[in-house]
Amino acid sequence: MCSIYSHTDPILYESRTRSIRIMKAVTSIKLENLFWQTLTELANENGMTTNQLIAKLFEEVYAFRGETTNFTSFLRVSCLRYMALKADASMDGREVWRRAIASTGAVEPAEAMQAAEAHRAA
């Protein structure tokens, strides 16, 4: 059983750092190549670049929670959730996101931003 994991191609767990512009600031994100590949796949399915997807995720988390602690870990967990949901071969990328939102009870991104703004104003 362990050989399934121990024989993994090392390029998949090699880390890569990328510079990304988020909310008008340039930052660096370091992830393993497998996570970059997954984010790229997810971005392509949603008609975005990987950088656009990451910026959008950041903005949505910030709007919903008012902060973005441990964002790199959030990206890894998002990739794992995406892959788990995608394991159901009947779903395309957009359906994966709809089910992910439904499973958490979260509202749509625009509504999340409005709710966060209302909460901050109160």
In tens, the pLDDT along 8-28 reads: 888 899 999 999 999 999 999
What sign results for the dihedral spanned by CA atoms 57, 77, 34, 88? negative
Cβ distance 44 to 27 under 8 Å? no
- Dig out the tokens for 30 from the structure: 């370091």
Residue-range domains of the chain with CATH = 2-115 (1.10.3990.20)
Tell which residue, 47, 52, 48, 43, has the closest CA to residue 20.
52
Angle subtended by helix axes 33-45 and 93-104, to nearest 10: 100
Give the per-residue pLDDT at 6: 87
Confidence check: pLDDT of 95 > 80? no
What is the average pLDDT across 60-73? 94
Cβ distance 43 to 52 under 8 Å? yes
Q: What is the mean pLDDT of the chain?
A: 83
Give the per-residue pLDDT at 14: 94
- Dig out the tokens for 122 from the structure: 């109160």
Cα 51 to Cα 20, 55, 75, 86, distances in angstroms: 6, 6, 12, 21
